[in-house]
Amino acid sequence: MTRRGPDIVVAGAGVVGAATALGLARAGLRVTVVEAREAAPWTAAAPPDLRVYAIAPASADLFAALGLWPRIVAARAQPYREMRVWDAGAAGELHFRASDAGGTSLGHIVEQGLLQHVLWQALQHEPNAEFRCPARVAAVLEDEDGVAVELDDGSRLRAQLLVAADGADSPVRAASGIEVAERDYAQRGVVGFVRSERPHADTAWQRFQPGGPLALLPFADGLASIVWTLPTAEAERVLALDDAAFGDAVTRAFDGRLGALRTASPRAAFPLRLRLAERYVQGRVVLVGDAAHVVHPLAGQGVNLGLADAAELVALLRGARDAGRPLGAPTLLRRYERSRRSANTLAAYTFDALERLFGSDAVVPTLLRGPSLALVDRVAPLRRFFLRHASGRAG
């Protein structure tokens, strides 16, 4: 059987790109996925992936609609049923419970490697999807009828649309001439696993400090994943500590809430930046995920924003296909851009404002922080507002 060319090319098969491609393929569209690197196979016997995501209920809904959520949960997904947030320099604490949102959990902590593994397996068995890996987009040529995508092996794909899901340094975004607004936080996120003296109690914990927040996320087998935001020089110092000294440092930074914390994995760090694409659409090119927006990790919403991009783009393109409309219609793509750019920009600058407020050791912000957390904790409409945004179901 001769396969026709794709309707859509998706550049990048990370979690957001793979979810976008699978959603489009399940909607009956022919998709070719172009990815530069083979994903490492995931097994439960291997050490857990250092990079984990706090998957919000709305993102879990997307994986469920793709038929993948039961597999993810059965493999290794840790629910968190409570969330506690407090500040090192002021009294006051914010405490959310799953029952506040009418559910049994506030979200799940899941490894990036597991999500990508499950998505890739599904794509490789999807008749409407084709994988080109390893391969990179070398050039993009557009005309009024579609887009020609040249790969680094010299082959060419022709499609109605090119979706750029190729990361924060997106080559497709750069080739399309889309500029980004950027702020370098001069911070790094130190990640790793620790084991706590007292149980993590299925709770996501976060303590704000002048240098940046320390998040401790519950994980399987009694482990906890940490994301410790630190100024770059301090992050380098902490990474160089031996295991015992690192455990002591994390215990002090966490204020001993769960007793002594012991190192349970290697450690790594990544630079933190705010990046917002000035446009999400350029002709037949559409941005999703980190190619469109990179936000501060203090609220753990980066991947959830990207999966919301995927869900909305798939829904719009499915509707266009069902109505017999061209997938590259400017009005259709601008509708996606208006909706997602607005939501993501609001989220990005909200997280940026929180980082400025809670990361400052100036007198006035310090005085405001504790009462602000206590106010949100006591006032029901504010609690509901924050819970809706944390779940990914705001609006």
Mean per-residue pLDDT, 366-387: 52
Q: What is the pLDDT of residue 381?
A: 47
- pLDDT tens-digit map of 149-168: 999 999 999 999 999 999 99
- Does the pLDDT of residue 314 top 90, yes or no? yes
* Among 190-199, 343-352, 384-393, the range of highest mean pLDDT: 190-199
The Cα-based distances of 93 to 84, 86, 208 in angstroms read: 7, 5, 11
Instruction: Report the length, in residues, of the chain.
Output: 395
Instruction: Please count the structural domains in the chain.
Output: 1
- Does the pLDDT of residue 262 top 60, yes or no? yes
Cβ(106)–Cβ(98) below 8 Å: yes
Whether residue 244 is contained in a domain is answered as no
- Does the pLDDT of residue 45 top 50, yes or no? yes
What distance in Å separates the CA atoms of residue 46 and residue 323, rounded to the nearest whole number?
46
What tokens does 217 get? 């996320």
Cβ(173)–Cβ(167) below 8 Å: no
Q: Quick one: 356 exposed, middle or buried, by C-beta within 10 A (0-12, 13-18, 19+)? A: exposed
* Domain ranges, residue 51: 8-78+110-181+274-361
What distance in Å separates the CA atoms of residue 56 and residue 305, rounded to the nearest whole number?
10
Whether residue 3 is contained in a domain is answered as no
Whether residue 99 is contained in a domain is answered as no
DSSP-derived 3-state class of residue 371: helix
Whether residue 105 is contained in a domain is answered as no
| Mean pLDDT lowest among 251-260, 292-301, 338-347, 370-379 | 370-379
- The closest of 318, 7, 337 to 161, measured between CA atoms, is 7
Q: Report the phi/psi class of residue 387: left, alpha or beta, with left for phi > 0 and alpha for psi in -120 to 50.
A: alpha
Mean per-residue pLDDT, 366-373: 51
The number of helices, as runs of H, and strands, as runs of E, in the chain is 11, 21
Q: Are strands 261-263 and 180-196 parallel, antiparallel or unpaired?
A: antiparallel
Q: What is the DSSP string of 328-370?
A: T-HHHHHHHHHHHHHHHHHHHHHHHHHHHHHT--SHHHHHHHH
Contacts of 303 (CB under 8 A, 6+ apart): 15, 16, 53, 55, 59, 289
Whether residue 20 is contained in a domain is answered as yes
Q: What is the pLDDT of residue 358?
A: 66
- pLDDT tens-digit map of 3-43: 578 999 999 999 999 999 999 999 999 999 999 999 888 99
Whether residue 55 is contained in a domain is answered as yes
Whether residue 53 is contained in a domain is answered as yes
CATH of residue 351: 3.50.50.60
- pLDDT tens-digit map of 82-135: 999 888 876 678 888 888 878 899 999 999 999 999 999 999 999 999 999 999
| Mean pLDDT lowest among 68-82, 172-186, 248-262, 367-381 | 367-381
The Cα-based distances of 191 to 22, 51, 158, 235 in angstroms read: 29, 7, 41, 10
Cβ(65)–Cβ(315) below 8 Å: no
What distance in Å separates the CA atoms of residue 302 and residue 286, rounded to the nearest whole number?
18
Contacts of 356 (CB under 8 A, 6+ apart): 365
For residues 227 and 299, the model is more confident at 227
Q: What is the pLDDT of residue 395?
A: 47
Cis peptide before 41 (omega within 30 of 0): no
Whether residue 311 is contained in a domain is answered as yes
- The closest of 279, 269, 80, 315 to 170, measured between CA atoms, is 279
